[in-house]
Structure 1
Amino acid sequence: NNNNNNNNNKSSSNHQCLEYAHRQLIPAMCPDDPGAYRRPGRLSRYRLRHCCHHTVESVVQQPYADKESCVDQVNKALDMDDIAAAMSCQFNEVLARYDCKQKYSAKSCDSCKDAYALWACAAVLPHWTRTTAKQGRRGRYRVNACRSVCLEAEQKCPWLLPVADDANPYAGEASFTCIGK
């Protein structure tokens, strides 16, 4: 009986509300049937692996009316997700040089990593949304990332201490700094 429950849990855990998009799923995401593209939003049930708060649909600008354009848009979305993941990985390597076991504030290195990953996704991935008839525009328009996403990463990440050097006395550098408006 216990084995039966475990098997049921295993099979149901593979069926999520939103599936992760990956290149092996492209044939299912972008079928040959032209009728599959009549309704917009086909890619909204697939989320990106690193930037999991984004769906593939939310980062594609162009409408996809056939298999070829769908595959192109999905590949672009996956490429952008890979770039954001690489940025987070590089930042985590820098952060690994910091003694994360030492409490530098009420925040932790984990909260810094999470905030930076969220910022990397917001910085790399565009976010497109549909307009409504009431808005007087047709199609999709881009929504800019909130500056608060950047500021949160800046606030949650530690200051990196400089190498002891009498010739260059300064307090250190922020591990992350927001620039621009």
Structure 2
Amino acid sequence: MPRAPSGLSLLLMAGLAFAATPPLEVVSSWLSTSDLQWAVCSPARAVGTDPGPLCPPPCPANSTKSTQCLYYLQESHKEEVCGPDLGPERRRDVLHGLRMRHCCEHAVDQALPEDAFQGGPACRHLLDALIMTDDLAGRITCGHSQVLTRYDCGQTYSIAHRCHHCKVL
């Protein structure tokens, strides 16, 4: 799947540091309803249209780490990480080892405020908001992937057109 430019993903992740409302309301105040309803790109659609590198695959449960893979934040981590079994430092270490599924260049701990490391409901709420925001970044990138693949980032005002862009409607 195409990924958002790093500035967009950083902006979306930074907004979570101030989250004190229900997850999608964190970002939906400046987005229209249609932005939140975009369909997710299928993997087949993303092949060959990606403006940046793809994220490595998730690590299998019995990974020997002989191939490149990442451990991605999942719904199940909310209960595992935010429960009373982990202290703040151990929680931070675990979250540092997890990556965002779409914005995989970011470790989860980098996108969270200090409250998240204390565990409990605030931790669960912030992880839920982070998962939803990462999914939203994926949908936004998917919706703009055609523009992103045609823009030549090396030039100030440049779009790389090819014959297949000339479509008769």
**Alignment TM-score, normalising by the size of structure 2:** 0.45
Q: Which has more radius of gyration?
A: 1
**Alignment TM-score, normalising by the size of structure 1:** 0.43
Relative contact order, CA 8 A, sep 6+: which one is greater?
2
